Amino acid sequence: MATLIVHGGAGRWDRGISRAEVDSGLERAIAAGWRALGGGALAAVVAAVAALEDDPLFNAGTGAVRNSAGGVELDAGVMSATGLRVGAVAGMTDTTNPVRVARSVLEDGRHALLAGAGASHFAAETGLPLAGHERLEAMARPVSGAAGDTVGAVCRDPAGDLAVAVSTGGTPGKLPGRIGDSALCGAGFYADTPGAACATGQGEAFIRLAGCRRAIELLAAGMDAPTAARGLIEELRERVGGEGGIIVVDAAGRPGVAHSTPAMPWAWRTDRDAARWG
């Protein structure tokens, strides 16, 4: 079964942003990912997350929050269960689509994670467009903004391949140079033969728990995606006192969503039923 799940970030959403606007953004992301599904699970999750990066409602790409110095630093990661291929970038200041740079890191294959100026140099050499930090900062949310935290997608394609993509502007008012879970394989994202998982919320908590790798371990132990998602969020609270959310798809294509935050908008679509929202 083909399944695609997207989320718009866990946290407390700005009351000035209507749920209808958020759902419209998620709908566009699902549509973009589903159109790309013919290229496989990895193409689908990258397309879905890039659509969310392009939407200023979400804390990624064009809608990223500012750090404590007023700057913008973006992280993103992608992973395919096939061959455990991974690519990630951290601290980028001059692109609106870091998820596409992360995919290029994966495809290039020499490294798993590039940061800062090195990631920008790689993007330029690869032919990916750079926006300039002035443009990112002009579009950014203020430090006190209440955007959701992180966007992401997981997918099982019709051939059974699994993939995950994640992108974030980080936490509002973070220290310059702070890297969260979204750039760290196993913490904010992971994909292996039992399934794929993507986290959102308190990044430091997911790093300490290696949260997404732990969710895949729960799948490998026999849990389905809904049970693994709930179990991981409970472990996050019990073991490290963290809160957040997670989306999970298992090897059978079953979707799982759980969160302990006041909000985490999400949507999924499968080839057996219409899109669902929460």
In a domain, 228, yes or no: yes
Residue 192 confidence (pLDDT) above 50? yes
In a domain, 278, yes or no: no
**pLDDT of res. 16:** 74
For residues 277 and 36, the model is more confident at 36
Secondary structure (H, E, C), the chain: CCEEEEECCEECCCCCCCHHHHHHHHHHHHHHHHHHHHHCHHHHHHHHHHHHHCCCCCCCHHHCECCCCCCCCEEEEEEECHHHEEEEEEEECCCCCHHHHHHHHHHHCCCCEEEHHHHHHHHHHHCCCCCCHHHHHHHCECCCCCCCECEEEEEECCCCCEEEEEEECCCCCCCCCCCCHHHCECCCEEEECCEEEEEEECHHHHHHHCHHHHHHHHHHCCCCHHHHHHHHHHHHHHHHCCCEEEEEEECCCCEEEEECCCECCEEEEECCCCCEEC
Residue 41: domain span: 3-263
Across 136-140, 217-221, 256-260, least confident range: 136-140
The letter for the amino acid at 67 is N
Which one of the listed residues 62, 95, 150, 270 is annotated catalytic?
150
**Percent of the chain's residues with pLDDT above 70:** 95
pLDDT, mean of residues 185-208: 98
**pLDDT of res. 145:** 45
**pLDDT of res. 137:** 80
In a domain, 151, yes or no: yes
This prediction has a pTM of 0.96
In a domain, 268, yes or no: no
pLDDT, mean of residues 193-217: 97
In a domain, 276, yes or no: no
Number of domains in the chain: 1
In a domain, 271, yes or no: no
**pLDDT of res. 109:** 98
Residue 275 confidence (pLDDT) above 70? no
**pLDDT of res. 33:** 98
pLDDT digit string, tens, across residues 138-156:
877 665 444 457 999 999 9
Asked if 261 is an active-site residue, the reply is no
pLDDT digit string, tens, across residues 156-184:
999 999 999 999 999 888 999 999 999 99
In a domain, 160, yes or no: yes
Output the domain CATH number for residue 234: 3.60.20.30
pLDDT digit string, tens, across residues 27-61:
999 999 999 999 999 999 999 999 999 999 999 99
In a domain, 174, yes or no: yes
